[in-house]
């Protein structure tokens, strides 16, 4: 799908033209998810994990009003150094940032959109946005959920971020017809923790099964994406009670300080990191790498199936 505002890096374009596996990555995790230089180190490590598992990484961003599918190490460094000075770009921001020639860090929503424009079908991230706690009065629901309902990209994550209302997030996804798959589990992982007590729609046990599900969904002409929830590795999982206590305290602090909207998630993640002595940051890094490895294997399996057809 050609788009005059889109720049695909030479490496990513060559891979797509040769029908080789490509995995999309977001850029909000670089600018808003971690401090410098840890953000740059993590972004480069995640790209390395994707390469090691047989795919080409395509970090997505907006630079100078251009949609980018595939960043250079220098561009990743630029994003890492500018950090939160770069606008966090969701669907509603995309046209204005491009029109004004500005930079934008892509969320799950805009990463899905730009990946789809570029022809990339699999995207690895940490956790998706969802229905915020108290949404029955605030109506604070992430645009990520709506995008999953409309954009045909498979998103591989460690579940919705633990700061959210997980039961309502699952209800919203069900209403919008988004299949929620558990990789090696029937239980929805809760980002930092492997357990939530909630059930996913289907358990899937191999990258090949994931790839075939995506291939069949496309062949059936069904719109919308697929959500794959991949539990954080056991050795990096955090105690559920401890992380819940930190989240509750962070939520109280957010309410006291009047923080809401797109600033809420970065504030909560940073506060939880501080309250857990940095443990949540290390868990976040490990789960992203774990998701990247599974995404690369799934992308490779999908290309293998399609090349064999």
| Fold topology of 6-308 | Indigoidine synthase fold (3.40.1790)
Q: What gap in Å lies between CA 26 and CA 60, rounded to an integer?
A: 5
The first and second tokens of residue 91, run together, are 């669907």
Q: For residues 189 and 200, what is the distance between their CA atoms, to the nearest angstrom?
A: 9
Instruction: Catalogue the active-site residues.
Output: 26, 161
Q: Is the link from the previous residue into 246 a cis peptide, with omega within 30 of 0?
A: no
- C-alpha dihedral (31, 36, 37, 38), degrees to nearest 10: -70
Q: What confidence score (pLDDT) does residue 55 get?
A: 98
- Please check the confidence at residue 25 and state whether its pLDDT lies above 60: yes
What pTM value is reported for the model?
A: 0.92
| Residues 116, 111: Cα–Cα separation, whole Å | 8
Residue of higher predicted confidence among 74 and 271: 74
**pLDDT digit string, tens, across residues 118-163:** 999 999 999 998 887 777 776 778 899 999 999 999 999 999 877 7
pLDDT band at 113 (very low <50, low <70, confident <90, very high): very high
Structural tokens at position 38: 């840890």
Q: What percent of the chain lies above the pLDDT cut of 70?
A: 96
Q: Is 68 helix (H, G, I), strand (E, B) or coil?
A: strand
In this predicted structure, the answer to whether residue 240 has a pLDDT above a threshold of 70 is no
Three-class SS state of 81: helix
Mean residue pLDDT of the chain comes to 92
The domain spans of the chain are: 6-308
Beta-bridge partners for 199: 187
Give the pLDDT band of residue 254 (cuts 50, 70, 90).
Answer: confident
Residues 6+ away with beta carbon under 8 Å from 3: 67, 117
pLDDT of 181 over the 70 cut: yes
**Most confident listed range (80-84, 129-133, 305-309):** 80-84
What sign has the CA pseudo-torsion 164, 229, 279, 106? Answer: negative
Q: With cut-offs at 50, 70 and 90, classify the pLDDT of residue 1.
A: low
What are the two backbone dihedrals, phi and then psi, of residue 285, each rounded to the nearest 5 degrees? Answer: -60, -45
Residue located via tokens 């596996």 = 21
Tens digits of residue pLDDT in 259-304: 876 677 778 777 877 887 767 788 889 999 999 999 999 999 999 9
Which of 119-123, 237-241, 246-250 has maximum average pLDDT? 119-123
């Amino acid at each position: 799908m050609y788009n005059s505002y889109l720049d695909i890096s030479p490496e990513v374009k060559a891979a797509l033209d040769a029908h080789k596996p490509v995995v999309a990555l977001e850029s909000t995790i670089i600018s808003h998810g971690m401090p410098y230089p840890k953000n740059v180190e993590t972004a480069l490590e995640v790209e390395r994990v994707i390469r090691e598992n047989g795919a080409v990484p395509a970090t997505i961003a907006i630079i100078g009003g251009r949609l980018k599918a595939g960043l250079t190490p220098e561009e990743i460094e630029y994003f890492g150094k500018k950090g939160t000075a770069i606008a966090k770009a969701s669907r509603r921001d995309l046209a204005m940032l491009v029109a004004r020639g500005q930079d934008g860090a892509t969320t799950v929503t805009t990463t899905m959109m730009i990946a789809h424009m570029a022809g990339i079908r699999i995207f690895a991230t940490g956790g998706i946005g969802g229905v915020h706690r108290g949404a029955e009065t605030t109506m604070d629901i992430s645009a990520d959920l709506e995008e999953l309902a409309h954009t045909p990209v498979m998103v591989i994550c460690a579940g919705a971020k633990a700061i959210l209302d997980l039961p309502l997030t699952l209800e919203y996804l069900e209403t919008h017809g988004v299949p929620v798959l558990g990789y090696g589990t029937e239980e929805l992982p809760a980002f930092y923790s492997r357990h939530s007590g909630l059930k996913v729609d289907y358990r899937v046990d191999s990258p090949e099964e994931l790839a075939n599900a995506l291939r069949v969904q496309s062949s059936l002409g069904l719109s919308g994406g697929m959500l794959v929830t991949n539990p954080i590795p056991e050795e990096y999982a955090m105690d559920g009670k401890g992380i819940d206590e930190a989240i509750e305290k962070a939520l109280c602090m957010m309410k006291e300080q009047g923080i809401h909207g797109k600033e809420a998630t970065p504030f909560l993640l940073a506060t939880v990191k501080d309250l857990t002595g940095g443990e949540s940051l290390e868990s976040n890094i490990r789960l992203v790498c774990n998701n990247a490895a599974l995404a690369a294997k799934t992308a490779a399996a999908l290309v293998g199936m399609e090349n064999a057809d």
